[in-house]
């Protein structure tokens, strides 16, 4: 957690964020998400229960010195009022409200189990709003090939390696840019990934990935020599020999999408993760449990979203029905 962020928190919230980061191993992005959700909630509580403000301008409300009693003396009604506020005033969707509820549950569970300040958790009976789970956006097989062909035509071994790994391994963008040379075991054809919550997993590299890596490494090593750098742990390097950033990967992808005529579909590096998972399931016949392991999902329910069927599969299923040819005979009245 950034020192600036810590200074803006009451001690109890600060302790929770440190706990999630250091003990639970949450990523900085996840901790920041907790901070944003919970600081907004605490500003709302202070504005309505302590300062009794009629017009809520929460940006002006400071929670640095908010006392533990105020934080702990929160009822389920207070939480419902907050959820109504973020819905009606801030326009939060059901998905966003569900995330805020998750943050509140984790925070008050921490207070109840890791401190002696609160005996009853006010979020125990708090339900998560229902929301329709949308299907993932992904590239079709033909689009994937067209995209990789556009990268191949540019003859840039680094870029081709980036998108070959993303489309074949289903890794997250953060996992890709976090790769170090020491994560590869070319003899065993394995790659170690550091996923969410600092959880490690091992994935296997297919022929395309091995070839792309082998083509890129000499270019990478020459880049180090040109910059008089003896060693660098990062696998993917920028032109300045620094670790490639996620933002740069997004920019590179945008360029090749345009070349392939796919730039108006909303595709992002994360959509390539969806693509890899979908293609493995639809064309590779990958078992859902194996897919869960490859993607590094904690819950199988997260992986099950990839079991959606493509339109041609739905059509094939309809045509394959044993009653598909049972039609009214021409002689019937």
SS3 content of the chain, % helix, strand, coil (to 5): 60, 5, 35
Q: What are phi and psi of 61, to 5 degrees?
A: -90, 125
Count, residues in the chain: 333
Q: Residue 120 domain-assigned?
A: no
Query: Would you write out the chain's pLDDT as a tens digit for each of its 333 residues?
Result: 665 666 778 999 999 999 999 998 888 888 999 999 999 999 999 999 887 776 678 888 889 889 999 999 999 999 999 999 999 999 998 889 999 999 999 999 999 999 999 989 999 988 877 656 666 788 999 999 999 999 999 999 999 999 999 999 989 999 999 999 999 999 999 999 988 777 889 989 999 999 999 999 999 999 999 999 999 999 999 999 999 999 999 999 999 999 999 988 889 999 999 998 888 888 877 777 888 888 888 777 777 776 654 555 556 566 666 666 666 666 545
Parent domain of 157: 141-311
Residue 330 lies in a domain: no
Residues 181 and 293 in one domain: yes
| Residues 293 and 258 occupy one common structural domain | yes
Task: Please state the separation of Cα 178 from the chain's center in Å.
Answer: 15
Collect all residues with Cβ–Cβ distance below 8 Å to 320 and sequence separation of at least 6. Answer: none
What's the number of domains the chain is made of? 2
**What is the domain-level CATH number for residue 301?**
1.10.443.10
Record the pTM.
0.69
Q: How far apart are CA 71 and CA 95, in angstroms?
A: 25
Q: Sign (positive/negative) of CA torsion 197, 199, 204, 210?
A: positive
Q: Say if 323 falls within a structural domain.
A: no
Q: How far apart are CA 60 and CA 27, in angstroms?
A: 28
Residue 318: inside a domain: no
Token pair in block for residue 75: 């009822």
| Residues with a known catalytic role | 172, 196, 270, 273, 297, 306
Per DSSP, what are the bridge partners of residue 202? 192
């Amino acid at each position: 957690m950034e020192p600036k962020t810590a200074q803006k928190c009451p001690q109890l919230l600060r302790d929770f964020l440190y706990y999630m980061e250091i003990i639970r191993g949450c990523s900085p992005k996840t901790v920041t998400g907790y901070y944003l959700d919970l600081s907004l909630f605490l500003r709302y509580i202070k504005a309505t229960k302590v300062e009794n403000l009629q017009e809520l301008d929460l940006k002006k409300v400071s929670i640095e010195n908010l006392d533990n009693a105020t934080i702990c003396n929160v009822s389920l009604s207070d939480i419902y009022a907050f959820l109504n506020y973020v819905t009606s005033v801030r326009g939060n969707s059901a998905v966003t409200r569900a995330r805020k509820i998750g943050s509140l549950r984790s925070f008050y569970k921490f207070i109840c189990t890791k401190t002696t300040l609160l005996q009853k958790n006010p979020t125990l009976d708090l339900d998560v709003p229902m929301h329709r789970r949308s299907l993932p956006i992904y590239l079709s097989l033909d689009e994937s090939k067209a995209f990789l062909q556009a990268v191949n035509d540019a003859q840039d071994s680094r870029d081709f390696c980036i998108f070959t790994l993303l489309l074949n391994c289903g890794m997250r963008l953060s996992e890709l840019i976090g790769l170090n040379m020491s994560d590869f075991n070319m003899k065993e054809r394995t790659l170690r990934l550091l996923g969410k919550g600092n959880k490690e997993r091992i994935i296997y590299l297919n022929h395309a990935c091995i070839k792309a890596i082998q083509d890129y490494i000499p270019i990478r090593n020459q880049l180090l020599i040109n910059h008089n750098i003896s060693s660098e742990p990062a696998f993917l390097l920028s032109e300045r020999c620094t670790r490639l950033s996620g933002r740069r990967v997004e920019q590179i992808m945008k360029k090749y999408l345009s070349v392939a005529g796919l730039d108006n579909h909303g595709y992002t590096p994360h959509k390539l993760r969806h693509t890899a998972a979908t293609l493995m399931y639809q064309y590779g016949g990958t078992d859902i449990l194996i897919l869960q392991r490859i993607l590094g999902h904690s819950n199988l329910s997260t992986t099950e979203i990839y079991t959606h069927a493509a339109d041609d599969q739905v059509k094939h299923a309809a045509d394959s029905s044993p009653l598909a040819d049972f039609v009214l005979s021409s002689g019937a009245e």
